[in-house]
Every structure is written in structure tokens, then in C-alpha cells.
Amino acid sequence: MKSKKQVGQLHEYARDLQNTPIIELFSADPNRVSDFTFEAAGLFLDVSKNRLNKQTLSSLLELVDKCHVKEKIADLFNGVHVNVTEDRPALHVALRASSDTESWVPKNFIAEAEESKLRLKSLVDAMRSGEKCNDDGERFSDVVMIGVGGSNLGPKLAIEALREEETSAINIHFLDHLDGEKFRNLVSSLPPHKTLFVVASKSFGTSETLRNYESARDWLKSRLIEKTSLKNHFIAITANGAKAKAAGINEGNILKIPDWVGGRYSVWSAMGIPIALKYGYRVYEDFLSGAALLDHHFRTAPLEKNLPVILGMVGIWNTNFLQSSSLAIIPYEHRLSSLPMYLQQLEMESNGKSLSLDGAAIDYHSAPVTWGASGTDAQHSFCQLLHQGTHQIPVDFILALKAPLGYEKHQDMIVANCLAQSRALMLGNERENNIENHKKLRGDRPSSIIYMDKLHPKTLGALISLYEHKTFVQSTVWNINPFDQWGVELGKAFASSIINDIDSETSCNQNDPSTAAIISRYKALKTGRCT
């Protein structure tokens, strides 16, 4: 948001359009649908139901130009240290680039990525063929991925989204929460001798993951018959091999992920192991190649046809010029139910910042609150507020047109409901006669639709890549670093000092009165001094 003049003009456009019904923008431009629909890598992005016209869009693209987004995209792909506060590149794109087709990512990064993919492939093949098995020569039937945030959300999303590809009998489970009840409930149905745990942690220092790892070890220790080696049952995926080894993981069972991949961008690395285990390495490669197609588009397409640029700038228009403070994500596809949560981390952990790249406070909004749930469930919970509430909340609808496996009548209704929501948000009913006051819907609420013919590994890869790059475009315009997350550190430090307090006989005096009172009741309950 550097150019005051450009920003000033956009504010003027926003004022001019304030009272123009979105539907009138369609009559003003007979080609609006094609002018505002963009296509790449099997995805279509229709932003025509947003409150903007060609003049707005071209002014937003001038802002993109003035913020040097093109140059920053080149920096991202070329391995420049775009993560300035941690002084390293953010090269998740290298993980999905292939050495024969793409020459833009520096060769050494591609070589590192390929080496780790080879290790992943041989481990996955060995597990699927039964060559890697337990000490009794039996295949592992259950794999539990222990990890949180980026070491959980991407693999979980992909496992759910690609259900149709099922090719192996391995059951995949995710253990992200610290709640002991979740642990107990999960392991109670697992066969210990045929269960493999994947400890997924880039840092190998996340306390929730390490706690669950300890409990998994204890559980196995108490259940395995003696000849079975505990170490066979654990694999680590990490950038910190030394810590994993020190924590008891066999060196041969440690898959490294490069340091230059951010946690929330790591599904493309060995963190994606559940995808390859469950659906086969080919599916995992297709997933990567779909993302690579979108990467190619992002790097080469002109700004005015560039999906991540358009999606990012429509978001900036809604946030910074039309004053929306949140973004709802509603996938009309049950297999994408975890997408809102995935995007929550991607967008909010990346761009939930109030300091610019040089550490100064910014005086405009950055990432809106991202939230959502799958349609049609959403229609029966929060959509009321989207239609009649006092907040204006833009929506991204995600729609896969083709039905997964028959059930076409269901699919007809899915498509109809998705389109109906977006249409109702735009039109409302105030223009109709004789509507009672409390039934009136003002309409003119913006939404975009991202659609594809079918949800498959490639379109899923492209969809995630689209949002990753959208996030990057926005961070560039907001002049913030999307690749660090210092905001989460303080909470971790406080948690560890509170745990010390809970463990100690005496109470530390450093806590605020509210925290101290709850700790004190907790300790009393633990020791049976109160009920």
C-alpha cells in the first residue's frame, strides 16, 4: 500500500460504487461474466458478483504494479531470502517443480527436494508392499500422524479430499489435539503391533506434538510383546534430525524436510506422507504437479489474467476499500470440509501482521478473519448472518461440478444450493414488492466462486497453490512478511512457565491474579484439596 495517490483513487472508486447495486454492474457490461472469470490449471475464478468494475480492477492492478508484485514473484521463485525476519527463502514451489521442466528455481534447491522425494518414495513403496513391516513380518495396518498446524492440516485436508483415489488398506489417523481423551479414544481401537506413528514436526520442538509422542511411546511400551522393537514403530518428519534422534527416533526412520519450507507450506514435502501411503506415490505426484501448473501460471501469466493476483486484489478491495473485516470460505463439497481450517492457518498465520517488512507499524488492515464451513451445513448455521446481519462478509464459494461417484440428484442440489447462495447474497429481495420488513434482504453482498469440473489430485494441488500465492500477493501489497509467525511464540513461552508453576509445590508470583486463581484451583483439584 505504498502509493498514496493510487490508494486515494481507489477510495474514490469505492465511494462511487457504494450505492450501485452489484446486479446493475452486469447490465452496464454485457461481457461482465467473461471479463471477470479467469481460468488456469483446471480452476475457474468468477469474481463478477463483487462490487467492482473494469476501472476498479485496472486501478487495483496498477497498485500491484506499483508494489512490484511481479519482481517479488521472481524473488520468491528464485530463492531470494523473502522471509526477511528469519533470513531464508520460502521455496515450497521448489518441492513441486520438476528438474526437467522448470529451470527457474535454483538447481541446488530442486536437487535437495528431489533427494527427499526419493527417500519418501522408497519408504512409501516399502510400506505399501509390506517390505517394511513389524517384527512379526506383518504389514502396518494403521498409521497415526502426530503433528499440529502445518504438520497436520495439509495432509488431513488432502486425505479427506482425495477419498475417491483409495488404493490401500492402510488406515490413516491424525493426532493433533493435546486432549488426553482424544489420545485414549484413538488408540483404544488400534492394534499396537501393527500401528506406526509418524511424528511430524518441522522444529521437533512443538510441545503438543512431543507430549503425544511420549504418550504413544508409553502406550506401545506397555502393549508390545518383547521381541518387537519399539523403534520400528516410529518415523519422524522434521527439519531438525538431531532433535528427533535425541528423542529416540532411529536415524534411518527420519525423513528430512528442508529448512526453507515454512510449516504451513509443508504439505508438498515429506509431510505429505499420508497421501502417498494411502493413495500411492502417483497420486501424491499428481497433487504436486497440479500445484506446479498453477505455479507456472502465477509466474508467467500477465497480471490481468493471473488468478492469484486477481483473487488477492479482490480480497484487498473488499478489506481495505469496502471495509470488510472477515472472509468466509464455503466449499460445496464435503470432501473439502477441512479447507476453511486449512486456509485459516494459511491466511491468518501468514498475513495476520501489523508490522511492515522493516518493523514499522502499518496504518491499514492486513488479513481479514478467515473462517467458514462446508455448504450446505453452513446454510443451516451461519448463513443467516451473511444474508441479513450488520456485517458485510465476502464469501469464497468453492464448487466441484462433477459428482464423485454417481448420486447425481445429490449433485444437482449441491450445485443449485451453491449458486443460489451466491445469487441471494447479491440480489436480496428488497426490489420485490410487498415483502414484510423482517423478511427483507438488502442483497449487494459480494462473493466469488472458484469452480472446477472435478475435484482430483491435480485440481486440489492447484487450489491450494492458488491460495498460497494469493496470500503472497496480498502480503506484498500490504508490505508484510507472510513467512514468519512471531505472534505465536509468546503464548508458547507463557504455557511453559505456567506448566512449571503447575508442577511446583509453591506458586510463582509472576502471574496476573486471574491466571493465578485458576492455577490455584487446578492444583487444588489435582491434589484432591477441593472437589
Task: Please give the positions annotated as active site.
Answer: 349, 380, 492
Query: Closest CB to ligand F6P among 56 and 151?
Result: 151
Part in contact with ligand F6P (CB under 6 A); list of ranges 172-180, 198-206, 442-450, 512-520: 198-206
Query: Closest CB to ligand F6P among 318 and 475?
Result: 475
Identify whether the C-beta of residue 95 lies closer than 8 Å to the C-beta of residue 268.
yes
- Four-point Cα dihedral 57, 353, 355, 58, nearest 10: 0
Q: How far is the CB of 466 from ligand F6P (least distance, A)?
A: 20
Query: 457-488 burial by CB neighbour count: b if 16+ within 10 A, else e?
Result: bbbbbbbbbbbbbbbbbbbbbbbbbbbbbeee
Part in contact with ligand F6P (CB under 6 A); list of ranges 196-204, 282-290, 378-386, 394-402: 196-204
Identify whether the C-beta of residue 307 lies closer than 8 Å to the C-beta of residue 374.
no
Q: How far is the CB of 237 from ligand F6P (least distance, A)?
A: 9
Query: Closest CB to ligand F6P among 46 and 176?
Result: 176
DSSP 337-392: TTHHHHHIIIIIIHH---B-TTSPBPSS--PPEEEE--TTGGGGTTHHHHHHSSS-
CA distance 171 to 8: 55
CA distance 97 to 104: 9
Q: How far is the CB of 153 from ligand F6P (least distance, A)?
A: 8
* Binding of residue 206 to ligand F6P (CB under 6 A): yes
Within positions 477 to 516, which residues make up the interface with ligand F6P, using CB under 6 A? 485, 488
Query: Closest CB to ligand F6P among 286 and 468?
Result: 468
For ligand F6P, the binding residue among 202, 233, 458, 469 (CB under 6 A) is 202
Part in contact with ligand F6P (CB under 6 A); list of ranges 94-102, 144-152, 435-443, 446-454: 144-152
Part in contact with ligand F6P (CB under 6 A); list of ranges 120-128, 200-208, 286-294, 432-440: 200-208
In the Cβ-directed half-sphere of 147, how many Cα atoms lie within 13 Å? 32
Query: Closest CB to ligand F6P among 239 and 310?
Result: 239
Q: How far is the CB of 292 from ligand F6P (least distance, A)?
A: 22
Give the residue carrying C-alpha cell 517384527. 135
* Binding of residue 207 to ligand F6P (CB under 6 A): no
Query: Closest CB to ligand F6P among 264 and 278?
Result: 264
Query: Closest CB to ligand F6P among 195 and 206?
Result: 206
Q: How far is the CB of 263 from ligand F6P (least distance, A)?
A: 3
Query: Closest CB to ligand F6P among 170 and 236?
Result: 236
Q: How far is the CB of 133 from ligand F6P (least distance, A)?
A: 28
Query: Closest CB to ligand F6P among 391 and 492?
Result: 492
Identify whether the C-beta of residue 465 lies closer than 8 Å to the C-beta of residue 295.
yes
Within positions 244 to 263, which residues make up the interface with ligand F6P, using CB under 6 A? 263
Q: How many other C-beta atoms can be found within 10 angstroms of the C-beta atom of residue 17?
A: 20
For ligand F6P, the binding residue among 149, 192, 280, 394 (CB under 6 A) is 149
Q: How far is the CB of 257 from ligand F6P (least distance, A)?
A: 9
* Binding of residue 242 to ligand F6P (CB under 6 A): no
Part in contact with ligand F6P (CB under 6 A); list of ranges 44-52, 117-125, 197-205, 377-385: 197-205
CA distance 391 to 379: 17
* Binding of residue 88 to ligand F6P (CB under 6 A): no
Q: How far is the CB of 232 from ligand F6P (least distance, A)?
A: 23
* Binding of residue 148 to ligand F6P (CB under 6 A): yes
Number of residues that bind ligand F6P (CB under 6 A): 14
* Binding of residue 350 to ligand F6P (CB under 6 A): no
Query: Closest CB to ligand F6P among 150 and 428?
Result: 150
- Four-point Cα dihedral 453, 454, 458, 460, nearest 10: 110
Bridge partners of 46, per DSSP, are 37, 449
For ligand F6P, the binding residue among 209, 318, 448, 475 (CB under 6 A) is 209
Helices 513-526 and 489-503 pack at an angle, to 10 degrees, of 40
Part in contact with ligand F6P (CB under 6 A); list of ranges 39-47, 147-155, 297-305, 393-401: 147-155
3-state secondary structure of 251: helix
DSSP 265-298: GGGGTGGGHHHHHHH-HHHHHHHHHHHHHHHHHH
For ligand F6P, the binding residue among 194, 264, 278, 445 (CB under 6 A) is 264
At 290, which amino acid appears?
A: G
Identify whether the C-beta of residue 386 lies closer than 8 Å to the C-beta of residue 423.
no
Identify whether the C-beta of residue 29 lies closer than 8 Å to the C-beta of residue 37.
no
Take residue 302 and report the three cell numbers written for it: 500477465
Give the residue carrying C-alpha cell 489430485. 457
Bridge partners of 144, per DSSP, are 173, 197
Q: How far is the CB of 270 from ligand F6P (least distance, A)?
A: 12
* Beta strands at 142-146 and 43-46: parallel, antiparallel or unpaired: unpaired
Give, in degrees to the nearest 5, the angle at Cα 129 between 126 and 132: 40
Q: How far is the CB of 259 from ligand F6P (least distance, A)?
A: 11
Residues near ligand F6P (CB under 6 A) are: 148-151, 201-203, 206, 209, 263-264, 349, 485, 488
